[in-house]
Amino acid sequence: MLRRPSIKLSPTRTNLKQYKAVFLSVARCTLPTIAALNGPAIGAGFNMALACDARIMSEDAILDPKFFRLGLHPGGGCSWLLRELCGWNTAAGLLLFSQPLSPHKAVEQGLAWKSVKREDLLEAAMGYTDAIRHLPRELLIYTKRTLLAADASCHFDDILEIET
């Protein structure tokens, strides 16, 4: 008789560091990243989608952190990412009140670029890459770096200097 291996449910520090490294690798990617969501983005999938530069959702997708309903503290940097992407009100609704977002609401709240029919999702996502694929790699890298530098702590003069 085959025995199923026991699964350790409590995450170890090593596991958490590995998860953190995955999210950071996506968030720190020097080239533009797109998440094409064709179903529920829950927990770690939710965080991975937030770590991308843009999100396109099919009509079947949903953004649902679900951390509280699983008895977990939010992770993967989603607290910071949500505040940056959509502000306090939406971040609080998602995390503190465990409310999921439909594709329409995600677009409305600034968490998704657009919502499309399921069968059009891949074509829509690839369409964005078609628009930039001919550009020099360095231009994409430096533009993304400038966009990341242009946060609330940066002054307009600083961005003008970086852009120059």
- The token duo for 140 is 């994409």
Q: What local confidence, expressed as pLDDT, does residue 12 receive?
A: 66
| Domain containing residue 157 | 135-164
Tens of pLDDT, residues 8-25: 545 566 776 777 788 889
Same domain, 75 and 155: no
Same domain, 110 and 140: no
User: What is the tens place of the pLDDT at every residue in 21-60?
Assistant: 888 899 899 999 999 999 999 988 999 999 999 999 999 9
Instruction: Examine the domain organization and report whether 72 and 113 are in the same domain.
Output: yes
- Supply the mean pLDDT for the chain: 87
Helix (H, G, I), strand (E, B) or coil at 76: coil
Backbone angles phi, psi at 115, to 5 degrees: -120, 135
Of 38, 49, 33, 62, nearest in space to 119 by CA: 38
Per residue in 64-97, pLDDT (tens digit) is 988 888 888 888 888 989 998 999 999 999 999 9
What is the CATH number for 61? 3.90.226.10
In this structure, are 142 and 68 located in the same domain?
no
